[in-house]
Structures are given as C-alpha cells and as structure tokens.
Amino acid sequence: MSTFKMNPNEHPIIDFAPFYANDSTKEDLIHQIQQACEQFGFFQLINHPIPTELQTAVLQHSSEFFNLPLETKEKYNQATGGFNRGYERLRSQNFEKRTKGDLKEGFYLGKDLPLDDEYVVQRRFRQGPNKYPSELTNAKGFRHVMDKYHDAMIELAVAIMKVLARTLGLDEDVFGDFCDHPVSILRLLRYPPQEADASGLERG
C-alpha cells in the first residue's frame, strides 16, 4: 500500500500514468484517488493521455469560431434544431434571475450521430447530430479536432470510472454498461474581459 500523503493545504495533483502500467504503481494510483475523493472531493490529473497538441488545437479552433461576427455565430444557435448543439449567445444562460445572464458565450458539441441513428430515432436525451461552422478557415480541421478531443475525453472518463470502481472495492468494469452512449457535451466557452460593475451580482 502506498504511503502517499496529501497536503491538506494544497489541492491534490495526481499522476495518472500508472493507470496504464498494470503493476504495483496502479494500486498506488487507486489509493491516491481514493484519498483525494475522501479528503477533498476532487483532484487534478497530470500525465493523462490527452496530447498537449490536441488541447492546443481545440483552443485555437475555439478562438477562431468566437471571433466570427455575431450574425455568423447565430446561424448555429443552440436553440434551433434541438439536441443541445451549437452556439450559446453571450449572457443567454441565467439560472439565477436576481443576476444578469452569465458573462460567457459557448459552443456545444457531443457525439455526432446521424438522424437515423437508433438513439436519435428513439429521442434519447441529448443524442443527435452536431453543428459544424463552415465559415472557418479550416472547417474540416475544426470538425476533426473537436470530434477527436471529445472521443479522447470520453476514453479518459471511462478510465477514471474504472479507478473509482476500484476505490469502492468493485471490479473496474462494473460501470461499463453505464458508459455506453454517454450524455457528454463538449462545451467551448469564451469569457470576455469583465469590467467592474457595482450595480449588482454577476456570474462568469
């Protein structure tokens, strides 16, 4: 058993590389994540398999989309077509009516499924086709990068679920059936510069 101890004054940063080693270091990883969940309720992973280059590409494509004119972005408005996909206008989300709308704009994507897919026909929650903006300088690149990143994050999430299962003393595949066709939305978000506002509450 690992003698790893977490500093109560620092958030837990955990090296996830041992998950793929299948040796004693994997048991140490499981113990560390169990400690983090019990003591903090969250943790940060490093050395996961998501390439830095892919993360950078996501940010670059995201920035180019948000720099498009508003009328262009509105062509992909999330409110049209269903499936919770597409553009979310600045301040359009507001869960607290006492405050202004959230100071952010977004673009939502998920697993891209055709309209004749079984899950789409059955109207399963949040299952459907994505909206891909065609006005970008590399529209095909946007689609490729976002789909690849979404799939990679699902794979990482499944790996984390396996570790969490082990922390509960269960087989690591016990949650496998619940990870098929997950309701997972990739949210690209842009937060514009914020000026001081003394008029009331504000949400980012």
User: Given this model, what pLDDT does residue 5 score?
Assistant: 65
What Rg value do the Cα atoms of the chain yield, rounded? 20
Q: What is the mean pLDDT of each run of 10 residues along the chain (204 residues)?
A: 64 95 89 95 96 98 98 94 90 75 91 91 87 96 98 96 96 89 92 71 59
Q: Mind listing the pLDDT tens digit for each residue in 42-54?
A: 999 999 999 999 9
Q: What is the mean pLDDT of the chain?
A: 89
Determine the Cα–Cα distance for residues 45 and 49; give it in Å rounded to an integer. 10
Determine the Cα–Cα distance for residues 199 and 93; give it in Å rounded to an integer. 19
pTM (2 d.p.): 0.87
Determine the Cα–Cα distance for residues 63 and 189; give it in Å rounded to an integer. 9
**List of domains in the chain:** 52-158+182-190 (2.60.120.330)
